Amino acid sequence: MMARSRLSPHWIVLGLLALAIVVVPNPIALAAPVEQHFRIEASAFQYTPEAIHVNPGDHVTLDLVSTDVVHGLYLDGYDLNVTADPGQTATLFFTADRAGSFRFRCSVTCGALHPFMIGKLNVGSNDLFWRAIGLGALAVVAGVWVMRPKGDRQ
């Protein structure tokens, strides 16, 4: 008879799942660029929302709305700036052709906490992040399986 493999089928399934999580292409990352429209409210001393996410190549429109005093938005990496008067909307348009994580900050001195008025633009898929989470979840499953009580033990 054939020698029995030392790898149980469970481990092979886990290994294949891990491989799939690492190498399967992310359909979102392969999608064509789209129009993205965001409304960011600026108030003392924060942006709402604080973080926005687009995919590389997306055409991005940012409407900066100031709810109190004059606020600005300077986007690091893209070197873009826009200023919104109180109660007004100012619009910034750009193509997200640089991948990465970029800070945006208020470019108009608006008060004591002005230096802390910071937001974030993420350009790129969260691929690595989700793959890492997937692998982590798989490791937990594997751990639980290894630690499972043996049927013949009390």
Could you tell me the smallest distance in angstroms from the CB atom of residue 60 to Cu ion? 22
Side chain identity at residue 145, one-letter code: W
Of 62 and 106, CB closest to Cu ion: 106
Of 36 and 43, CB closest to Cu ion: 43
Could you tell me the smallest distance in angstroms from the CB atom of residue 104 to Cu ion? 12
Rounded Cα–Cα distance for residues 83 and 74 (Å): 9
Rounded Cα–Cα distance for residues 36 and 91 (Å): 13
Residue of 42, 62, 96, 110 interacting with Cu ion (CB under 5 A): 110
Q: How many CA atoms lie within 13 A of 87 on its CB side?
A: 0
| Among the residue ranges 24-32, 95-103, 108-116, 123-131, the one whose residues contact Cu ion (CB under 5 A) | 108-116
Look at residues 4, 59, 65 and name the one whose alpha carbon lies nearest to residue 36. Answer: 59
Binding-site size for Cu ion (CB under 5 A) equals 4
Residue of 114, 124, 126, 131 interacting with Cu ion (CB under 5 A): 114
Q: Is residue 52 within 8 Å of residue 122, measured between CB atoms?
A: yes
Q: Does 64 bind Cu ion (CB under 5 A)?
A: no
DSSP readout, 35-77? EEEEEEEEETTEEESSEEEE-TT-EEEEEEEESSS-EEEEETT
Structure tokens at 126: 């969260």
| Among the residue ranges 25-33, 34-42, 62-70, 116-124, the one whose residues contact Cu ion (CB under 5 A) | 116-124
Of 49 and 111, CB closest to Cu ion: 111
Of 31 and 113, CB closest to Cu ion: 113
Residue 18 has φ and ψ, to the nearest 5°, of -60, -45
Could you tell me the smallest distance in angstroms from the CB atom of residue 41 to Cu ion? 14
Contact residues: Cu ion, CB under 5 A = 106, 110, 114, 117
